[in-house]
Amino acid sequence: MDPVSTVAFVTGNLAEFSLRRTLERLAPSLPFEARVVRLNIAVAALMTTDWVARHLKLPEGIERVVLPGFCSGDPEVIANATGAAVERGPKDLRDLPAFLGKPAAATEYGKHDIEIIAEINHVPQLSTKEILDDARRYRERGADVIDLGCDPAGPFSCIADVVRELRAEGFRISVDSLDPREIEPAVKAGAELVLSINATNIDVARELGCEVVVIPDEPSSLTGLHESVAKLETWGVPFRIDPVIEPIGFGFAKSLGRYIEVRERYPDAAMLMGIGNLTELTDADSAPINLILLGFCQELGIRSVLTTEVISWAQTSVAECELGRRLTYHAVTHKTLPKHLEPGLHLLRDESVKQHGLEILEDLATRVKDRNFRIFAEGGEIHIISRAAHLRGTDPFELFEQLEVEDSSHAFYLGYEMAKAVTALTLDKSYVQDQALRWGFLTVEEKGHLERQEKRGKPESQG
């Protein structure tokens, strides 16, 4: 927000106290004078711009107006009526400090230089449709290359046909096999990368005409790797080196050391890490594991990662890598901490938990004059506020019994909201009535109670 002399913050009866307190606390650091303009409406979220334009009378000297974030309609209607510039503020009053402070935007945030290779496992066991569906899903989530994982039982006779089908839809393809009987037809059909090459099959790389990934002969060491690299360099075959990451308990730390050793010996070589070796084999949600490994890759100059989504706790690894590569790129290239940049990766807990505070809730309880229930989750308790009472407690069943709700649809709504409130308290998340709990990029937005009522032809009164 540009500095101006006076800014009017429009609100309703119930939010006035909280808004004034927030602005009073921020006043010493604001580059303008803030004035609260209260309109005669109980819930600010019920305002429309047409309604505000009819009722808003601005004091002299107001140059800019900030509306509640949920105020629907075209702000230009108010601008035409008042002559002031008009904009919407945040939907949640607790976000107002950040809104006014204009936190430094990471203008270049979003860039990345790590390629995501997403493996479809056991392609010989899948139909072409299943393979195409998986490939499309991976691409939508951010994959750059689709890797076809073959089985060790024997050559996949249809590998060339599958590659051609994928190439026809514009996919970039790698083939994951040590068997030349799968590698050669896949490359001829359009695969651009081979995973993997070592002493057992290196001769096939000489005539492929495409890039290969070279790995050690023994995954627990670098045995044979340098010899294979030397041959590929002599033949002029482009390659990436993968020292192979090992699972925790099977040499994980040493395997990370091998990546560092290889980087020191080959400072300019392209490298790859199969991060699925860790996410698929570790009993934990994959997002933080992916992020840590991407940070390692970013710092070490490993510019491609191989991942997959087989095990249940790694079902969104590709999307996690897509967000993670942006965050780690920004942190490394800008030499800044990787925090307060990527809310999409806060899956279980929120970046910050916003609280109104008991004082504000108690003040709200004295102001509410209608029958509607306001639900809050703060201080380890569920708070339910209406004109009848301010109920608080940890057991939603006991609270519900005190409400004496007879209408089934209303009872269902309250039960649903209190279930969300309990979840928020359990996980220390922010709860806002009629809004979805935030699960990072997994969040599924909800239609609010008011929106559903309007759809059924039962609009709420605006007070």
Q: What pLDDT, in 10s, does the model give residues 37-76?
A: 999 988 787 899 999 999 999 988 898 999 999 899 999 9
Residue 3 has pLDDT above 60, yes or no: no
Average pLDDT of 283-305? 98
Q: What's the confidence (pLDDT) of residue 316?
A: 97
Q: Which pTM does this prediction carry?
A: 0.78
Question: CA angle 225-321-439, nearest 5°?
Answer: 150
- For CATH 3.40.50, the residue range(s) in the chain are 6-101
Average pLDDT of 379-397? 94
Stretch among 85-99, 134-148, 203-217, 429-443 having the lowest mean pLDDT: 85-99
Condensed to tens digits (0 to 9), the pLDDT of residues 208-229 reads 999 999 999 998 999 999 999 9
Q: What's the confidence (pLDDT) of residue 113?
A: 97
Cα gap 105→97, rounded to integer Å = 15
Kindly indicate the confidence band of residue 428, based on its pLDDT and cuts at 50, 70 and 90. very high
The percent of residues above 70 in pLDDT, for the chain, comes to 95
Residue 458 has pLDDT above 60, yes or no: no
Indicate the class that CATH gives domain 6-101: alpha beta
Mean pLDDT across the chain, nearest whole number? Answer: 91
From 3.40.640.10, 3.40.1080.10, 3.40.50.720, 3.20.20.20, which CATH number describes the 115-339 domain?
3.20.20.20
- For CATH 3.20.20.20, the residue range(s) in the chain are 115-339
Cα gap 376→362, rounded to integer Å = 12
HSE of 69, CA atoms in CB hemisphere, 13 A: 9
Question: CA angle 206-258-110, nearest 5°?
Answer: 85
Stretch among 56-65, 194-203, 258-267, 298-307 having the lowest mean pLDDT: 56-65
Q: What's the confidence (pLDDT) of residue 30?
A: 87
Cα gap 235→393, rounded to integer Å = 73
Residue 28 has pLDDT above 50, yes or no: yes
Cα gap 100→305, rounded to integer Å = 40
Kindly indicate the confidence band of residue 461, based on its pLDDT and cuts at 50, 70 and 90. very low
